[in-house]
Structures are given as C-alpha cells and as structure tokens.
Amino acid sequence: MKVVDLVPGQVAEIPRHSAADLDADTFWRSYVVAQRPVVITGAIADWPALQRWQDTEYLAAHAGDTEVTVARTFNPVPAKAFFDRAEKLPLAASLRNMADSEPTDVYSMPAFKLPERWLADLGRYSFLPERYDRRPILFPRNRVFVYRNAGTEWHHHGIDETLTTQLRGRKRVSVFELDAQTRKEFTRIIRSNLHHVNGGAKFFPPELSIVKYETIIEAGDVVYIPPRYWHGIDPYDNEIGITFAHCFRSPAEGIRQTLRWVGNGFK
Ligand SMILES: [Fe+2]
C-alpha cells in the first residue's frame, strides 16, 4: 500500500540544507517560526546509531526486554483499533524475524519507546540547542518506528514540532499545508479514506489545488515537519527501515495558531 500518490497536487521539492550551513537561529527563524518544512542533511553524522543500527543483530542484542506491537500492514489512520488487535512480541526476536523475511513481506512496529541501549547511540542536533529544544506539549520527546515495506497513512499533528530522522533505509516523504479554503474539503476526503477508492482522485475538487512538498530521505537525513502539515510516507526500498522522531515545543505563535485552528473546528 503506497499512499503519497493517492492525494493529487502539484509536486515541489522540500528545500534542503546541509547541517554545516544551518545555524540554530536560522533554523528557528526561517523554518520553525515560519512553519516551513526543510530537509537537513549531514545532521547526525556523529551519532553512533548511524553506523551501528545498520546491523540488525546489534539492535536485537541491545533491545533488552522491550516488547513491541508487530503488525503485518502499513500504518493506517486511525491506528488504534487496528493495532489493538496486533501481536505484542519481544523486540529482539521480532527484529530477527523481520531480517529473515522475504523482500516483499510487510512489517510495521508502530511508534515505541527506545530501549535504553538504543537511546545511548543517539546524539544531539547541531541546529537545535537546548534553548530551543523544549519539552513537547502532547507528543513524546523521542520515539522510534521500525518497518519493512510499510508506509504511513496521510495524517497531521495538531501541535508540537517534529524532526523525522532516518537511521536506516530510504523513504519518500510528502507534506502539504492546507489553507482556509482547502482544509475542510481535504480533511473530509482523507478522513473518509475516499483517496483509497479506485479512481479516488476524482473526489478532490480540481479547483482546490495543493502543492505537495516531497523528498526522498536516506540514513543520515532529517526532515523538519511543522504542526498542521499533512504528511504521507512510502518506503522507497524493500529493506528494514528505522525512523527516529524527536518532538519539541512549538514557539508561542505556533501554539496560538493551533489554538485558533482548533477553535475553528479543524482538529
Ligand atoms: Fe506524523
């Protein structure tokens, strides 16, 4: 199941920055406060995870007694009813199973808390010093996704800033922002899953055109996704993929925007 192309729109590239050329204040002002997505390359070159996590046996050996939900599907939205029925299994054994599976097999371990030993392999983002890296309001600060051939359905986060950090494998990320004119209609269609119907593009009114900002990320790349941006994700290879999501608190103006959004009935 691929989701990115199910939503029609004009396609543009997400701007790219090398971490070496992106200082913290520029990142904060030009992207976080401005609420613009950006890809940051070379941002985690010094994180031990970038090398160590390519080895599944290393990850399994450091998984401790963590148990995870393992589903044989992409990540649908809403996910709860679906994943409540999925199996809870030891992380270590599940990783080994996934590594031994066929290249077309689908596995998803939706967001889970990192085992202590995995957490120790992460570093900091040079462009996000502590003064900006404040505790998120709703989302956990750190979570990780492990998958094979499983993407994630279009969704958005009402609040908190997200750095999607690719540690292993490649994936295609598409994001778009809705304005007052388009958000009601698009939200209705996507939430009703009409985009999955055969020929589903016809449900999107052609006069409500959107710009989808897209990129392919690989291990070492970070995508900043602002709140309220819809995003859909498709794997771009058949390998085991690992994505680490780090969330931090929105600037005051961003929180005010979200409150206005919710006040207008758009959750
Ligand atoms: Fe998300």
Distance of CA 192 from the midpoint of ligand 1 (Å): 18
The tokens describing 196, both together, are: 């999955």
Distance of CA 62 from the midpoint of ligand 1 (Å): 26
Nearest to 27 by CA among 207, 248, 235: 248
| Nearest-angstrom CA–CA distance, 265 and 262 | 5
| Nearest-angstrom CA–CA distance, 221 and 186 | 29
Q: 211: left (phi > 0), else alpha (psi -120 to 50), else beta?
A: beta
Distance of CA 177 from the midpoint of ligand 1 (Å): 13
The tokens describing 98, both together, are: 């996934």
Which domains, and CATH codes, for the chain? 4-64+74-263 (2.60.120.650)
Distance of CA 26 from the midpoint of ligand 1 (Å): 24
For the chain, 267 residues long, give each residue's pLDDT as a single digit of tens. 899 999 999 999 999 999 999 999 999 999 999 999 999 999 999 999 999 999 999 999 999 999 999 998 888 887 777 777 788 999 999 999 999 999 999 999 999 999 999 999 999 999 999 999 999 999 999 999 999 999 999 999 989 999 999 999 999 999 999 877 788 888 888 888 888 888 888 888 888 789 999 999 999 999 999 999 999 999 999 999 999 999 999 998 888 888 887 777 655
Let me know: does 143 contact 194? Beta carbons within 8 Å. Answer: no
